[in-house]
Every structure is written in structure tokens, then in C-alpha cells.
């Protein structure tokens, strides 16, 4: 079996996994920054709840989760093809 069948699949999976982890980190950082700025204001309800209404932070988190799932799926699929064939 040649390397051209499963290696590109595993590389794409690894890239998706890496991008997903980066997006999750950015989402968490964005949410912490938002909560930090809200905590300096007089209305600290959202800060105390630790819930961000920032769409960008939630978008980073959801995109990161989707990318991690796709990356893991592609890595497992590439590994299975490598082992079975």
C-alpha cells in the first residue's frame, strides 16, 4: 500500500485538530478578556455569572469544537486505513 492513500488524510486531520485547539484557546481568551472588561464596570452581573454574550467568543469555541471533532475523525480514519490495508 502506498503512502499516498492515508497520509494526506492524516495530515488534513492533524491540521483540523491544530486549528480547533487554537480556536478553543482564542475563544477562552476572548471570553476572559470580555469578563475582565465587564468586571471593571458597575454592572457586574455577567462577570459574576462567567457567561459571555460576545458572539465572537462563542463562535471561536463552537468552531474549535467542530474542527477538533473533524480532525479526530480524519486522524482515526487515516489510522484505520493504514492498519487495515
The whole domain housing 48 covers 7-84
Specify if 1 maps to a domain: no
- What pLDDT does residue 7 have? 85
Higher pLDDT: 57 or 68? It is 68
Is 31:57 a contact under the CB 8 Å cutoff?
yes
Q: What's the domain count of the chain?
A: 1
Specify if 58 maps to a domain: yes
pLDDT in tens, 20-56: 999 999 988 888 877 676 556 655 555 566 655 666 7
The three grid cell numbers given for residue 20, joined into one nine-digit string:
480547533
Exposed, middle or buried: residue 67 (CB in 10 Å: 0-12, 13-18, 19+)? Answer: buried
- pLDDT of 59 strictly over 80: yes
Specify if 21 maps to a domain: yes
pLDDT tier at 6, thresholds 50, 70, 90 = confident
Residue 61: Cβ within 10 Å count = 19
Specify if 20 maps to a domain: yes
- What pLDDT does residue 3 have? 65
Measured CA to CA, the distance from residue 69 to residue 13 in angstroms comes to 9
- pLDDT of 67 strictly over 90: yes
Exposed, middle or buried: residue 72 (CB in 10 Å: 0-12, 13-18, 19+)? Answer: middle
- Does this model's pTM top 0.75? My answer is no
Specify if 2 maps to a domain: no
Amino acid at each position: 500500500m502506498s503512502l499516498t492513500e492515508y497520509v494526506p488524510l492524516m495530515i488534513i486531520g492533524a491540521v483540523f485538530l491544530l486549528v480547533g485547539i487554537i480556536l478553543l484557546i482564542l475563544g477562552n481568551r476572548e471570553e476572559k478578556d470580555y469578563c475582565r472588561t465587564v468586571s471593571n464596570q458597575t454592572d457586574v452581573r455577567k462577570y459574576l455569572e462567567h457567561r459571555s454574550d460576545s458572539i465572537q467568543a462563542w463562535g471561536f469555541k463552537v468552531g474549535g469544537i467542530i474542527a477538533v471533532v473533524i480532525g479526530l475523525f480524519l486522524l482515526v480514519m487515516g489510522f484505520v486505513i493504514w492498519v487495515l490495508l
